[in-house]
Amino acid sequence: VDGSTLSQLKKMIDKAIELGADKVLVIDCRTLMSKLPAYKEGQVFVIANPKIPSKLLTRNAKKLQKTYEIGYSDVLTNTALETWLKN
């Protein structure tokens, strides 16, 4: 789930759960998660890195490439995500 506003993000998570998702992976580029309502433990996993160089409307190819590289690295080195996916 990727959302640009907290209200839309909550709706998307709720919709995924309504459609039967046991787990929802959230990519948060704006660090909104501190305001997200609580869900059942283990149901929602958040990846957030406020240090990424691009924003929602970024078109600069170098910034987008760097953002991709940071995100890819974050996922590969995230042992908590690996554990969450296996359970």
Query: Higher pLDDT residue, 81 or 7?
Result: 81
The tokens 């839309």 sit on which residue? Answer: 8
pTM, full prediction: 0.73
Q: Are 44 and 17 in contact (CB under 8 A)?
A: no
| pLDDT band at residue 68 using 50, 70 and 90 as cut-offs | very high
Torsion of CA 39, 41, 42, 47, to 10 degrees: 60
What pLDDT score was predicted for residue 80? 93
Query: Over 60: is that where the pLDDT of 32 sits?
Result: no
Query: Over 80: is that where the pLDDT of 85 sits?
Result: yes
Element containing residue 82 per DSSP (H, E): helix 79-86
